[in-house]
Amino acid sequence: MRLAPSPTGTLHIGTARTAVFNWLFARHCGGSFLLRIEDTDRERSKPEYTANILEGLQWLGLDWDGEPVIQSQRLEQHRAAIQRLLDSGHAYRCYASEEELAAMREQQAASKQAPRYDNRHRDLSPEQEAAYVAEGRQPVVRFRIDDARTITWTDLVRGEMRWSGADLGGDMVIARRAPADRIGDPLYNLVVVVDDAAMAISHVIRGEDHIANTAKQLLLYEALGAEPPVFAHTPLILNQEGKKLSKRDGVTSISDFRAMGYTAAALANYMTLLGWSPPEGMGERFSLKEAAAVFGFERVNRAGARFDWDKLNWLNGQVLREQGPESLREQLAPLWAARGWGLADGANPVHADPAWQRQLTELLGPSLTLLADGVEQAEPFFTTPELNDAARAQLEAAGAGAAVTALLERLPEGELDADQAQALLGEAATAAGVKKGVVMKSVRAALLGSLQGPDLLATWLLLHRSGDDRARLARCR
């Protein structure tokens, strides 16, 4: 198994999902998961993209075996393979100029034909070749594709596949233009085959956008006398409209998801579900290791997989809660501190107390989707919030002020437990002549400045421990 990313951009979710399937299958069968950096596009490949890709894979927990193979360092092997194909007559030099090829395509378009190379230089005589060379033309190298051939393979996802040679666009370019006594830069289909064969890749697992390449590559394996791997073409990731997910859909790179606060565990879990259905009874939340134990292509769907933010968010919340409140607190504390909460000179010392922070984490935990939600939702516990309109309206309702006053009069200086707090709410209701619900709503409004928020009693107890409840209630008497 291998992943062969091109470092022409950051690690894309599609590539990462391909990595997940390769990793799962390799770990499932005890095979190796190799990496090959396909950096032969010298203009668009950048070392920082390679770094981003390796870092992203590592972060997701997709460890690979051995050192990554760097494709650009294998140029001699690629050229040697092209030379062999030239020597065996499977490939030839084509001198057609860009202008001639453009004119050919124009004609094809005018007569409503699919664009293809018409194999015009397939059988040049030595004299014709010499004449083109004398003109100073630089040839590409093309690989012969027999229109009459039918290419077949058994795809692990899609079953029996058939492709007609006539649908491959004519003889394919395998090396760019160069003087006729040299071989120009080798191109994708050729180098992939040479490298996959050299790396003894048993299974090529990649997106279904490569299916036509597979047909071409199988012909190259045959011509080079190499054993082809088994192929598995995975469904594409689709956006909400059912189109292939692209940059235009916003966040698509793993580093962006990471920056948004998604956990590696949730993202890896989610990518596994993008195209694979876990066996009955497994549920949708699992680790990569758990998935690897049962992974197989019989449960990979053929249909495209629609990206579902709700599911990713749900998984991320699950992962956050699984870590337990103490681990969650350890992650949140630096984010709170970065806001200056609990640290600044003169700040409430209770806010920096791990026990108080842990209670706060336990209170907020169930409603977190992203770690950052634990910052936003914690804000009213560290700083006194303004009253919003709904809170103000609540506190202006009949009896609300009286209830808050009654509560304040009974509020102990020292400790307060849940039973006492419940009793106080009841007493305040009686004293103010309102229902207990009115007292509760008013207390929430006074404490949090909003009618929304976590469990009221736990909220109050926390704010009582930090000594923040009294002043907040007092402003609403």
Residues that bind ligand GLU (CB under 6 A): 4-6, 38, 192, 206, 210
In the complex with ligand GLU, which residue's Cβ is closer, 38 or 373? 38
What's the closest the beta carbon of residue 145 comes to ligand GLU, in angstroms?
18
Residue closest to 235 by CA, chosen among 223, 245, 249: 245
Residue closest to 95 by CA, chosen among 128, 64, 55, 73: 128
Q: Are 403 and 473 in contact (CB under 8 A)?
A: no
DSSP assignment of 351-392 equals: GG-HHHHHHHHHHHGGG-SSTTHHHHTTHHHHSPPPP-HHHH
Amino acid, single-letter form, for residue 86: L
In the complex with ligand GLU, which residue's Cβ is closer, 192 or 266? 192
Q: What angle do CA 24, 2, 308 make, to 5 degrees?
A: 50
In the complex with ligand GLU, which residue's Cβ is closer, 231 or 270? 231
- Which letter, b or e, does each residue of 18-48 get, where b requires 16 or more Cβ atoms within 10 Å of its Cβ? bbbbbbbbbbeeeebbbbbbbbbeeeebeee
What's the closest the beta carbon of residue 36 comes to ligand GLU, in angstroms?
8
Burial class of residue 11, CB neighbours in 10 A (0-12, 13-18, 19+): buried
Which pair of tokens denotes residue 257? 């998801």
Considering the candidates 112, 216, 244, 247, report the single residue annotated as catalytic.
Answer: 247
Confirm whether 247 is a catalytic residue.
yes
Q: How far is CA 448 from CA 77, 158, 352, 386, 428, in A?
A: 68, 56, 20, 8, 19
3 state SS of 219: helix
In the complex with ligand GLU, which residue's Cβ is closer, 38 or 469? 38
What's the closest the beta carbon of residue 233 comes to ligand GLU, in angstroms?
10
What's the closest the beta carbon of residue 210 comes to ligand GLU, in angstroms?
6
What's the closest the beta carbon of residue 317 comes to ligand GLU, in angstroms?
32
Which residues are catalytic, by number? 247
